[in-house]
Structure 1
Amino acid sequence: ITSCPFCDLQVPLALGITWAIAFLLTETGVYNYRGCDMNVPASNSVSPYCRKHVPRMKHCRVDTSHALKSSPWFRFPYPLQWGTPVFNWKMALVMCAVSVIAIIDSVGSYHASSLFVASRPPTPGVVSRGIGMEGISSVLAGLWGTGLGSTTLTENVHTIAVTKMGSRRAVEFGAVVMILLSFVGKVGGFIASIPDVMIAALLCFMWAMLTALGLSNLRYSVTGSSRNSIIVGLALFFSLSVPSYFQQYGLSPNANPSVPSYFQPYVVASHGPLRTGYGGLNYVLNTLLSFNMVIAFLIAVILDNTVPGSRQERGVYLWSEAEVARREPAVSRDYELPFKVGQAFRWVKWVGL
């Protein structure tokens, strides 16, 4: 069998080559159309010629955001640089529900990662440690104003399987590199120059891999069981149909038609189908029921815990016991904190095994 030195880099190479071609087409003026301005929305263009070509200019050029030219070379990110955080209890409840779902996704990612690196499944203490660190990272993300929390990126689990690289040293080195690059403003501007069509194509690939990886976790249960097949089928069906019903209320005649689909749950929150006597409760329920992942989570959790099934059938027998893991040096090396940090926090239960 002939080895392929670039087989593990197919996606990055395809992204880089396409990005370079888009840069050349932009610089050579292929996307320049006489009398058309990409900063003017296509709906406001008087000329049919510009109305036809403005979307191509906005989505295919690499200089749409002007971030590369306007960003400074060096910039020090600091906490609260965008102002002090504003607390809204309605959005806090929504984020709490979404965080629970993110935790469930992270637990599955931890288990899948352990199998890809040929290690024992993590213990409950290791899982708690990972979830706790995600919470701390989300707090730091909020202080730095990134606009989103931190959680396990499930796509990276597939990266471990493709690259055969499961060393924590590689992750630590990558984290240090990203921290250093955050001080170089041109790096962020360069990444922001990726054309929208390339981002859409990359997301199609990433979400396809995410779906495949999520369904592959079913192999640890009895996949041939009609019980599991019905639960998975109902969760997928309702997660697509129920949010679609709620999101149609966001398409009011007075609504902005340019609102992206991922903002639809927040549009629905203002005038969704659920209307109780409390405005805050309406906001929370309409928002949560407009998320596909919330519906899938609720259906799967309710059915998995109410429909009778054995532990083997449900796939809940795979976690390692803490006492067994401590007696195995290989497992301790896999899950202990680096630089012997865990020795100073042995009194904290979720830090250890």
Structure 2
Amino acid sequence: MSVVFLTGFYYVSVPIGLYGFQHYLSILGSLILFPLVIVPAMGGTSEDTSNVVSTVLFVSGVTTLLHTSFGSRLPLIQGPSFVFLAPALAIINSPEFQGLNGNSFKHIMKELQGAIIIASAFQAFLGYSGIMSLFLRLINPVVVAPTIAAVGLSFYSYGFPLVGTCIEIGAVQILLVIIFSLYLRKISVFGHRIFLIYAVPLGLAITWAFAFLLTETGAYSYKGCEPNVPASNIISEHCRKHISRVKNCRVDTSHALKSSPWFRFPYPLQWGTPVFSWKMALVMCVVSIIASVDSVGSYHASSLLVASRPPTPGVLSRGIGLEGLSSVLAGLWGTGSGSTTLTENVHTIAVTKMGSRRAVELGACVLIVLSLIGKVGGFIASIPPVMVAALLCFMWAMLTALGLSNLRYSEAGSSRNIIIVGLSLFFSLSIPAYFQQYGISPNSNLSVPSYFQPYIVASHGPFRSKNGGVNYVMNTLLSLHMVIAFLLAVILDNTVPGSRQERGVYVWSELETARREPAVVKDYVLPFRFGRAFRWVKWVGF
């Protein structure tokens, strides 16, 4: 009897664990790329980047366990959302932080922590008080689609301009991911579509090996040029000409792996006591509403995938409330971002057909263990910047497409919906461009890189009242693409007449679901055909 039990436990737990870790590998970019962008922007060292990466892995594992147990109870992974990236960069590039000395990283991180904690408490209040359920009456696929799409489209100035600093490596990275995810997507190995599921990690590994070979063969070695020497100290004109390629193309310029310890436990307030600023907190509070809209779209899409029906209003409120509490933890630990549902997780569920909470929870435990190994964070932090930018080009494009895919729940061919989505998307790019370019002369010599210029609007925006804090909030919020898209979509969708079927409301709020109990995912995983242990029937129901 015991032998049978142990054998059954092995056949169930091992593949479930593999499927769970598969989820995290497939959304690797969403988990690790956020800190690789913001820490260097804050003036942090490679060691700081390594520590923040480990912290992100730890918090993601903990908050995922909390969310699958006490939140929406859907098989969704929690992590740093790209929704928080634009406001984080706007705070990092605030006028008061310009010209800080070597300890700028901790100073700015404490400001970010304070803003995230206040905004997260506000989000938790919206969820658990039931106000979010009332607010969600204004939200449907026609609102969610342009809002999430605007998040991905807003970073076009960061993506390829940075890839172009080492085009032969960045272009290879992008092409490999495209080939794996599109041209090779139907190829299966042992029943798994590995090229489609693991397009990002596979593309990263191959490109990294290619860049390593180029570095070792001396392709980026220029006589007398050292990559770690500041540009201001370089005298040789020859070195000045090639220093950008040396820093962006070589794979041995980062010391993150060597400097990181073997064991490090991420702990709360590791960067110091958070600093609370009302103007930065107000910006983050507005962004937390956008993040909630993003999560609502993920809840509906995943619930329809695993249960063929939308979640109840109670599930939505509970999920948003717990996301707020999880983001408070992210603020205390100092990840630089709130903790929300990763939209890309829904794509992984659709591709792998695995909607098991148990698998996601086992994967979260693996993530927590990996976060305690400092060398893992150091290894991730050593990814060359050009590869990060190339991966982000793909991730942001995917985020845009996943946002627009919500239109399938409405009448996508309706002229009403087409006009609303089109206006929301166009003005989400055009209005922020006006704010970002206002007051900047063509010959102005800005101290920040070109791809960060859209985030310094607080110092020169058109909104100029007697109150500096109000100027900061208004100029910053109206320069964020997702805020403009959300405001336009909500106003137009709720004022222009349209049927429930046309707007997609009938899918998102069936009357009969309101009378059912809150959803609880149950896992049923049964092996079949002896000798094929990794082929399973995966079914999840409520």
Aligned twin of 2:109: none
Q: How does 1:22-41 map to 2 (within 5 A)?
A: 22-40=211-229
Two-structure CA RMSD over aligned residues (Å): 2.3
Aligned twin of 1:326: 517
User: Deviation at 1:255?
Assistant: 2.9
Whether 2:447 is the aligned partner of 1:256: answer yes
User: Deviation at 1:334?
Assistant: 5.1
Structure 2 residue runs of 5 or longer lacking an equivalent are 1-185, 524-541
Aligned twin of 1:139: 328
Change (3 A) 1:74 1:28: farther
User: Deviation at 1:28?
Assistant: 4.4
1:246-273 alpha-carbon deviations (Å, 9 max, x no partner): 1114756353142642x633x2112211
Task: Name which of structure 1's ranges 14-23 and 199-208 shifts more when overlaid on structure 2.
Answer: 14-23
User: Deviation at 1:120?
Assistant: 1.7
Out of 245, 264, 267, the position equivalent to 1:75 is: 264
Counterpart AA for 1:270 = S
1:29-70 alpha-carbon deviations (Å, 9 max, x no partner): 432221112234557644343233222222222233311111
Q: How does 1:1-353 map to 2 (within 5 A)?
A: 4-5=188-189, 6-7=194-195, 8-40=197-229, 45-249=234-438, 251=440, 253=444, 255-258=446-449, 260-261=451-452, 264-265=454-455, 267-318=456-507, 319-320=509-510, 321-322=512-513, 324-326=515-517, 332-333=520-521
User: Deviation at 1:72?
Assistant: 0.9
1:307-328 alpha-carbon deviations (Å, 9 max, x no partner): 111111111122354554339x
Q: Percent identity?
A: 74
1:57-103 alpha-carbon deviations (Å, 9 max, x no partner): 22222233311111111111111111000000000100000010111
TM-score, length-scaled by structure 1? 0.86
TM-score, length-scaled by structure 2? 0.57
Distance 2:506 2:448 in 1: 49
Counterpart AA for 1:256 = S
Is contact 2:500-2:506 (8 Å) kept? Answer: yes
Distance 1:27 1:49 in 2: 21
1:307-353 alpha-carbon deviations (Å, 9 max, x no partner): 111111111122354554339xxx54359xxxxxxxxxxxxxxxxx9
Distance 1:64 1:306 in 2: 55
Distance 2:257 2:428 in 1: 39
Change (3 A) 1:313 1:166: same
User: Deviation at 1:304?
Assistant: 0.8
Relative contact order (C-alpha < 8 Å, sep 6+): which is higher? Answer: 2
Change (3 A) 1:33 1:154: same
Distance 1:72 1:223 in 2: 52
Is contact 1:222-1:228 (8 Å) kept? Answer: yes
Structure 1 residue runs of 5 or longer lacking an equivalent are 336-352
Distance 2:285 2:225 in 1: 45
Count of aligned pairs: 330
Counterpart AA for 2:309 = R
